[in-house]
């Protein structure tokens, strides 16, 4: 008999819509409370709680996880994955149901939690470790290992505000990876660009699991899920849709949501009008994906569903980085397209962007009439190794491989 690590029974979490908004006006609450007795006096009961003001971020979720399992949790944005992790880590409490947790829980809901820019790497290791539940003695014992794993070596006594974000993440992950909780919850931390470090993290997580510890891993990157997890739970609209072997559930998820190609109407009234349905990219000799891993040629394809014939179509393409800066834009004029699905492809010799997440915004026009503007829900991921300046501020937005050499000048005009 295997030992259970997590037993969740009917976990439910209700949020008030806008319940996470920053400011609740005190006067509304006070007003409500003051008015309540008068409503009762008038013989009226309090107005029934309208269902549209609340929603269930988790709705009757039950599952067991055995000790030592690596379970991936997948689902669209807002499906309830993060809420589930937050309930399991006790950051927030369930509205109904319960979960039994066997042992200490460590979490990586966002790396670098509590990192203070004015503290040095060393000081942050201690503070962060403390927050994550390590004792000072534990950190003392593992300090060298952590620093070595993070590859920050000589910068360990530099204040963290001078670190590149990559270095910060490495250090933060290193601290968390050396936690020794029985259960480790990881949310999307490995989306940080540096592929080499990502692999190292994945290896580390595998090792951790082999030691008998349990890992729940939330990610949008199906490759990572495939590589790391034995079992996958697919969460949709707060409930478990599928729970089974990783390969099967991930494939089902991909074909259902067309995750890698960004299928989906994105909430627009898409019926009966010309609109974009999906996008993908293909590296030379590669599969359709949403991730750039090399500096080679890449073809970006947008699928356009044309409703009525285009005579003088015009397509606009914009690519934004995660901070919303436009990093690339282009357009094509004079498109003549018959009704039906069309693939509009752009082949570029390379797209040397800095590792990270990017978003497409594409539009289609007939003359000056806008037919569709599409914010692609699936992001473009760039996962090449960073070869830029190690301080973010000086790294720029491109990631271009180069050769560097020095030699005596042979140009006599310079002398």
Partner 1 sequence: MSATATNRDATKPSVSRPPITRIRPIGGWFDLNLREFWNYRELIYFFVWRDLKVRYKQTFIGAAWAVLQPLATMVLFTIFFGGFLGLPTGGLPDPVFYYATLLPWTYFAGAVTTATNTLVENQGVVTKVYFPRLIMPVSAILPGLVDLAIASTVLFGLMLVYGVTPALTSFLAPVFIMLAVGTALGVGLWLSVVNAAYRDVRIVIPFIIQAWFFISPVIYPADSIPSGFRWAYSLNPMTGVIEGFRWSVTGVGDAPSSTILISALMVVVLLFTGALYFRRREVLIADVL
Contacts with partner 1, residue ranges (CB under 8 A): 3, 14-15, 19-20, 22-26, 29, 86-105, 107, 109-110, 113-114, 116, 118-119, 123, 126-127, 130-133, 135-136, 182
Q: Is residue 70 exposed (0-12), middle (13-18) or buried (19+ Cβ within 10 Å)?
A: buried
Nearer to partner 1, 114 or 245 (CB): 114
Q: In whole angstroms, how close is the CB of 253 to partner 1 at the nearest point? A: 26
N- to C-terminal Cα separation, the chain: 82
Q: Between residues 17 and 326, which has the closer beta carbon with respect to partner 1?
A: 17
Which residues, other chains included, contact 259 with Cβ-Cβ below 8 Å and sequence gap of 6+? 220, 222, 253, 378
Closest separation in Å from C-beta 243 to partner 1: 20
Supply the minimum distance, in Å, between the C-beta of residue 96 and partner 1: 6
Residue in the structure block whose two tokens are 């599928």: 242
136-150 and 121-131 helices, crossing angle to 10°: 130
| Closer residue to partner 1, CB minimum distance, 103 or 286 | 103
Q: How far is the CB of 137 from partner 1 (least distance, A)?
A: 9
CB 8 to partner 1: min, Å: 9
Residue closer to partner 1, measured from CB, 129 or 264? 129
Smaller CB separation from partner 1, 134 or 303: 134
Residue 29: CB minimum distance to partner 1, A: 8
**19 versus 78: smaller Cβ distance to partner 1:** 19
Judged by CB, which is closer to partner 1: 160, or 281?
A: 160
Q: Distance of CA 175 to CAs 107, 146, 211, 285, Å?
A: 11, 6, 18, 38
Residue (161 or 341) nearer to partner 1, CB = 161
What is the b/e burial string over 217-244, where b = at least 16 CB atoms within 10 angstroms of the residue's CB? bbbbbbbbbebbbebbbbbbebbbbbee
What are the phi and psi torsion angles at 41 (to 5°)?
A: -60, -40
Do residues 261 and 287 lie in contact, with contact meaning Cβ atoms separated by under 8 Å?
Answer: no
Element (H, E) at 81: helix 81-88
CA atoms of 385 and 180, how far apart (whole Å): 29
Q: Element (H or E) spanning 340, and its range?
A: strand 340-348
Q: How far is the CB of 27 from partner 1 (least distance, A)?
A: 9
Identity of the residue, 93 or 413, whose beta carbon is nearer to partner 1 in the bound complex: 93
- Tell the smallest beta-carbon distance from residue 118 to partner 1 (Å): 5
> Phi, psi at residue 215, to the nearest 5°?
-130, 130
**Distance in Å, CB of 16 to partner 1, minimum:** 9
- Determine the Cα–Cα distance for residues 159 and 117; give it in Å rounded to an integer: 7
DSSP assignment of 205-217 = HHHHHHTT-EEEE
DSSP 135-190: -HHHHHHHHHHHHHHHT-GGGTTSBGGGS-HHHHHHHHHHHHHT---SEEEEESGG
Smallest distance from partner 1 to CB 3, Å? 8
Distance CA(333)–CA(347), nearest Å, equals 17
Closest CB to partner 1 among residues 199, 210: 210
């Amino acid at each position: 008999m295997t030992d259970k690590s997590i037993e969740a029974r009917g976990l439910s979490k209700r949020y008030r819509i806008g319940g996470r908004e920053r400011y609740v006006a005190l006067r509304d609450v006070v007003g409500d409370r003051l008015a309540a007795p008068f409503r009762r006096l008038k013989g009226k009961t309090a107005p029934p709680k309208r269902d549209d003001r609340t929603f269930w971020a988790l709705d009757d979720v039950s599952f067991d996880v055995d000790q030592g399992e690596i379970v991936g949790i997948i689902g669209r944005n807002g499906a309830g994955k993060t809420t589930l992790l937050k309930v399991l880590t006790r950051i927030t409490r369930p509205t109904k149901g319960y979960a039994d947790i066997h042992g200490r829980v460590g979490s990586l809901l966002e790396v670098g939690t509590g990192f203070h820019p004015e503290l040095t790497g060393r000081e942050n290791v201690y503070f962060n470790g403390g927050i994550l539940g390590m004792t000072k003695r534990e950190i003392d014992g593992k300090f060298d290992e952590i620093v070595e794993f993070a590859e920050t070596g000589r910068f360990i006594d530099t204040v963290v505000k001078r670190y590149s974000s990559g270095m910060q993440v490495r250090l933060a992950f290193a601290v968390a990876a050396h936690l020794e909780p029985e259960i480790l919850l990881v949310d999307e931390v490995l989306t940080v660009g540096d592929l080499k470090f990502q692999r190292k993290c994945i290896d580390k997580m595998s090792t951790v699991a082999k030691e008998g510890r349990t890992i729940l891993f939330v990610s949008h990157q199906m490759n990572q899920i495939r590589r790391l997890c034995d079992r996958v739970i697919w969460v949709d609209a707060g409930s478990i849709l599928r729970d089974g072997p990783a390969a099967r559930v991930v494939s089902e998820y991909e074909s259902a949501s067309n995750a890698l190609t960004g299928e989906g109407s994105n909430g627009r009234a898409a019926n009966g009008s010309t609109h974009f349905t999906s996008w993908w990219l293909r590296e030379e000799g590669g599969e359709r994906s949403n991730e750039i891993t090399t500096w080679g040629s890449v073809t970006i394809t947008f699928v356009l569903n044309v409703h009525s014939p285009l005579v003088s179509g015009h397509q606009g393409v914009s690519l934004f980085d995660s901070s919303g800066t436009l990093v690339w834009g282009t357009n094509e004029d004079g498109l003549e397209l018959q009704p039906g699905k069309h693939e509009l492809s752009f082949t570029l010799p390379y797209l040397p962007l800095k590792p990270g997440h990017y978003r497409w915004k594409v539009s289609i026009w007939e003359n000056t009439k806008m037919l569709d503007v599409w914010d692609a829900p699936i992001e473009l991921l760039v996962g090449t190794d960073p070869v830029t300046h190690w301080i973010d501020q000086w790294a720029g937005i491109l990631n271009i491989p180069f050769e560097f050499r020095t030699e005596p000048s042979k140009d006599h005009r310079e002398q």
